[in-house]
Amino acid sequence: MDAEKVIESLIRALMFFAGVVGNNWLVIRSLPINASALRTNEILFINLAISNLITNYLVDLPDTMADFAGNWFLGETYCGVFRFSADLSETSSIFSTFFISIFWHQKLVGSLKRGGGPARMDGLRLVACLLAGSWTVAVAFSIPHFFFVKVEGTNESEADCLDYFPDVVAGQTYEIIYLTLANALPLAGIVTISVQIVITLLQNQRRVRSHNAELSENKSKNRSDVKRNDTDAVTQARRPSSETRAPNRQQEVLPRPPQSSVKPGSNIQVRAAKSVVAVASVFLVCWLTHLLLRITTNFHTSSLMLEVASYIAASYTCIIPYIFLHGVKKLTCSCKP
């Protein structure tokens, strides 16, 4: 192997390691102590991590091994498993990210606009139906890749696992439908939801600043009133007692400053919503590039483009677990009993 291939293989191995650690950690930190305490966000995180782990173990690991070996040595049978797993995990991961975005948008709106009202996706039955539907769609789109594959190369040292549709028109039709329903539409939904989250956060930030300014103004006014009352009290104390009784009865209690309208429990929703925006940014860069490369390969097959698309998908699965763990404050583990 030349130096360039060695560097590429090492990068792929590091991405595999980061993805395995991050996604396993996301599963561990999302598991509740009791099954009855399982919540929507934990189910969605576990589902996302499982989708990514399919990529890590069944796609990234054999691909890394093939890189170090210099060619595809796992045979045509596993080539079908490899391509099936790649699209299965990719589709499920995209839909999981989409559902997580919807859920935290609902929680953010419920916390900041409706006073902490419950979200629709708090219902576990609805979430289970959505996840079951997403896995069904993922399996349906992935099945063709299990059959229409071949190990292609000019010789054994350059063999590679590739998709192969006997009919070019059928292959392009499949790719168009798949990329539209399982990539473009969820991508557009995630971007739209992220924009709404950003707008909601900015509006809430303006409200908080305005409320804090009002509180500061009220405190300044109250301090001046207290100072004036103290001065009046000193003046009245120097007068005869018969003159000071009436003013004392007329003293009014200073009004208490109004309490903040921002709920304390909204902090975790705001933090998690910001992590969703961060994930959406990574998602947009990775999957938009991946989508464009997949579209390009329909008209001009290039092993280089396929390799770049594979690296982009792997980078996404090894980055987002850490962003979500940071967003829900589960990136570190406390050793306290």
H or E stretch covering 149: strand 149-152
Q: What confidence tens digit (pLDDT) does each residue in 21-40 have?
A: 999 999 998 888 776 778 88
Place of tokens 């000193």: 234
Higher pLDDT, 217 or 122: 122
- Which residues, in sequence order, are CB contacts of 45 under 8 Å at separation 6+? 26, 27, 30, 100, 324, 328
Higher pLDDT, 56 or 197: 56
Residue 269 has pLDDT above 70, yes or no: no
Question: In this structure, are residues 55 and 85 in contact, taking their beta carbons and an 8 Å threshold?
Answer: yes
Tokens coding 84: 């099936």
Residue 65 has pLDDT above 80, yes or no: yes
Q: What confidence tens digit (pLDDT) does each residue in 300-331 have?
A: 656 666 667 667 767 778 888 888 787 776 76
Region of poorest pLDDT, from 73-77, 246-250, 275-279, 318-322: 246-250
Give the total residue count for the chain: 337
| Euclidean distance between the first and the last CA atom of the chain, given in angstroms as a whole number | 50
Domain of 157, CATH number, reads 1.20.1070.10
Q: What is the mean pLDDT of the chain?
A: 76
Tokens coding 99: 């559902």
Other CB atoms within 10 Å distance of the CB of residue 31? 13
Of the CA atoms within 13 Å of residue 129, those in its CB half-sphere come to 6
CA angle 206, 208, 212 (to 5 degrees): 120
Question: How far is it, in rounded angstroms, from Cα 17 to Cα 327?
Answer: 22
Is 259 among the domain residues?
Answer: no
Give the largest Cα separation in the chain, rounded: 113
Is 281 among the domain residues?
Answer: yes
pLDDT of residue 15: 86
The arithmetic mean of pLDDT across residues 186-208, rounded, is 82
* SS3 state at 120: helix
Is 236 among the domain residues?
Answer: no
Question: In this structure, are residues 153 and 107 in contact, taking their beta carbons and an 8 Å threshold?
Answer: no
Domain, as residue range, for 204: 3-208+264-327
Is 250 among the domain residues?
Answer: no
Is 160 among the domain residues?
Answer: yes
In the chain, alpha helices (H): 3-30, 40-55, 61-69, 75-112, 124-147, 168-179, 185-237, 241-250, 266-299, 303-327
For helices 185-237 and 241-250, what crossing angle results, to 10°? 170
Is 176 among the domain residues?
Answer: yes
The pTM score is 0.75
Q: What confidence tens digit (pLDDT) does each residue in 148-180 have?
A: 888 876 555 567 787 888 887 888 888 888 888
Task: Please state the domain count of the chain.
Answer: 1
Is 237 among the domain residues?
Answer: no
Residue 54 has pLDDT above 60, yes or no: yes
For helices 303-327 and 3-30, what crossing angle results, to 10°? 30
